[in-house]
Structure 1
């Protein structure tokens, strides 16, 4: 599990391509190395990946075809920066919200406006079916960052970024048309899916009753 509080930004040093597999070698910040071992979970732009090799501060991760397809990690190149977060500890403060590291889709940044102390980012969902999970003032994970949804218009929603988020994450570097990973709050997803299944079941029951009559 993760909290959506980005702990560092790190560059991709090397990419190795294999059949249906890609390996990313990341130059880890020193403060994220203590206790890191093979098999540990680390969120990359919000996507949970497993450490496969450690050589000093160079840490490798394998990405399968499905991960490359469903996230923005497949579009990254050597030199690109990613948001990193180590797995959460049970005795640590959770300042964001609980996140699984399972990316549900992506969104495109379609408009960015900046003022002296604020930045507004408008996002358009790649899969418009996900709009049922987008609610005003609800949590959402954007490239591994715990954020609160602002205005919502159909499949488009707004995020308000404070200076700290702009400075400490890659969102401060992104321009319009950039693709970001999306993780929906798990409680929201479970509630929406449950209500949806209930309404479908009730509609079927009412249809069956009308046929009997």
Structure 2
């Protein structure tokens, strides 16, 4: 079955260009130039991924992302003409999986699309060979079922959030640097702004774990070094 990718961008030339590259790689494409039609499409069709522009004529791209994350966990790549770090951090904090600034190389976008889809497929696959689970003071995460609960309440994690939390649990008792976490989970080389990406996702995870900012119970910050989940 072809994977279905949603493109939302009011710049027709960019949307059409992305569509050409995706279709050439065998993906099925839903393409829209505004947010309202895109949201209707998401509710009426199975979507495997979204490439979402931040600046749209009718609905702010961040608001669309929030609406998506209320019900869906497929990967979302944000497109923007802005370069400010705060815009990037806002998108990641709201649940975006990746972020690319215009103008961009279409081949780079395609590489990121494939990376996110691989992660999403891995997240949804159930490994029947060996059960792997951690139970850390009421936080239970299972790689076998790709599920996570906190005090018996299920947590709705995106595939990327699950991968981050699993990696930290899998290395519990050890301080994991931002560089190690980024390169292992994102599968990309650690660059100058990568730490902001890691921080935004850790912040999002802490919110879902209902962690107090100053004294988190699970994901602890070791200042100047990285993050740690104690045994």
User: Please, what TM-score do these two structures have when normalized by structure 1?
Assistant: 0.30
Which one has the bigger strand percentage?
Answer: 1
| Bigger Rg, which one | 1
Which one has the bigger helix percentage?
Answer: 2
User: Which of structures 1 and 2 has the larger relative contact order (alpha carbons within 8 angstroms, sep 6+)?
Assistant: 1
User: Please, what TM-score do these two structures have when normalized by structure 2?
Assistant: 0.29
